[in-house]
Structure 1
Amino acid sequence: MELQYKKYFILLFLFASATGSFAQNTAINTGINTKNPGSRLTVNGSVAGDYKIITGNTVLGYTDYYTAYNGNADAMLHLPPAGWGSLKGRVYSIKNTSNYMLTVIAPAQETIYGTANMSSVTVPPGYYAKLVSRGTVTGSTWELLAIMDSKVTSVTVKKALDYAYGMERESSNISAFTLSDSNPTLIPESQTMFTMPVASPVILNVAVGLAGDVLYPSYYKSPYFRCEIIIDGVATNFFQIVQQHYLQSSLQFKISGVFNLSAGPHGIWLNITRWNDLGYVYVPTFKVLSVVYDGVYLD
């Protein structure tokens, strides 16, 4: 009878291997639903862990994986002691779905390592924590992998700034300016005002087009120009450096950044600088073809 059972087991193993539901290779890698496992365990499909909802103080055990606390008072969740056995690599995912505080507590004489050794970790309402066993039996036996706010809130993208200027290159009304030295020069048509209804980070995109408007001397050497965003009279250090490759060619700057702005009015403009003349002195002149500001914030 024992021989017959062994025969059936061998036949079952060969069938599973042939269909790809279970496989091992010479590297002792194990695969589920794959014939060629590339890792110690490769699963070609979904993976399920235990899901449990608790409403009071609890000690996590061998079969626990994901635990949600949904009680009506503050509660304590105790991690298992390292002396229970080989816990190295065990992961617990914990979420506080209640309106009360949940405290995850390490066993006596053991600690949880986050930024320092801690005897416990507080998980506020709506927060999620993930811990892993370090495999040690004393001292810092658990490690806090993450703790984060899992509450989902809706946000609206709102306009903070929407400004555009454009002009044909040959228009008689086009604005022009010269760069007589290496000092920053305000780009005409780039200065405008906008108002923030609330204090918020603003995502700002800027695009500028300039046309060269002077014939440089024969020793022209393709200089570099630097364009920077100025907000409320302060240089933001958000800039772009562009090279003018040939005589009378256009310059295009595209600058993006995130700026923390207070509620109230703000002024913005662009400064341009002769960043590198490559050792030659001349006075470049440019026409302003376009200036575009697009700024948004989340409310």
Structure 2
Amino acid sequence: KGKNCKMVVRPAIMTGRGAGGGRAEDAEIFTASMSFASLPRGKKVALTTLGVVTAGGAGLALILHQSVKASELELHPPQYPWSHAGPLSSLDHASIRRGYQVYKQVCSACHSMEYLAFRNLVGVSHTEDEVKTIAEEVEVVDGPDESGEMFTRPGKLSDYFPKPYPNPEAARAANNGALPPDLSYIVNARHGGEDYVFSLLTGYCDPPAGVIVREGLYYNPYFPGQAIGMAPPIYNEILEYDDGTPATMSQVAKDVCTFLRWAAEPEHDQRKRMGLKLLMGSAIIVPLLYYMKRHRWSVLKSRKIAYRPPK
């Protein structure tokens, strides 16, 4: 009893008769200290730190798991086989062009892309002349002029995409209190990326039995809370593509998701291209460095330098 608890182990006594007929007894007492208080200060600090780190890591893992766990009727989006998902796969630039057309004719009525300029489309989905024509269709407020007055002018390549509303308050007032998010980085800002956006656009359905959706909201199992203020934005043949591609719902959702992936990561193709060059260069440099280390540097590293004082 007490703070210091000691366990005493008494092994059995081995009895036998040797050459002289005497009795051999071998009894040893092992004492094992089981008290935390008897440990040195350094070990106490180490064990305490290990316990705190382990408990904190387990708690953090549980919190992160609960944050991404599907709750009630909320669904996680499935993983779709995107053509650009491979480590060396590039974006479909024809799909980016169609996706911009979807954004311009459908999404831009409510959603902004304030971090994307018209010049970003040059060489990606459109030619320079095409982008100039697109930009000139937009009236941009500029100024002041020499008399101190603001004026409107046709858009230029350096102008950013126009906003559908002048401020967030006007956006909320036009959408029953809901604020349409900016789509510049929406793919990176949502768990699941383009899988989530595709599932959200194509996942509208009737609520199950027992679920009541408030007026002005729409049921979508992929949206947190399942009730979303945005009406179904796309459907079959909602627009007509310039290249003649059939505008089915899945095709429209796929194209706009590809466009949003490019908008969030304009360096997508260049990053993978640089990675491929790095792998090809490493295939040459790594064997060369190994040869230099094994057959050249090892001779210098293993030589012996002896000092012989003069006689």
Q: TM-score, normalised by structure 2?
A: 0.19
The structure carrying a bigger helix percent of its residues is 2
Bigger relative contact order (CA 8 A; separation at least 6):
2
Largest Rg, 1 or 2? 2
The structure carrying a bigger strand percent of its residues is 1
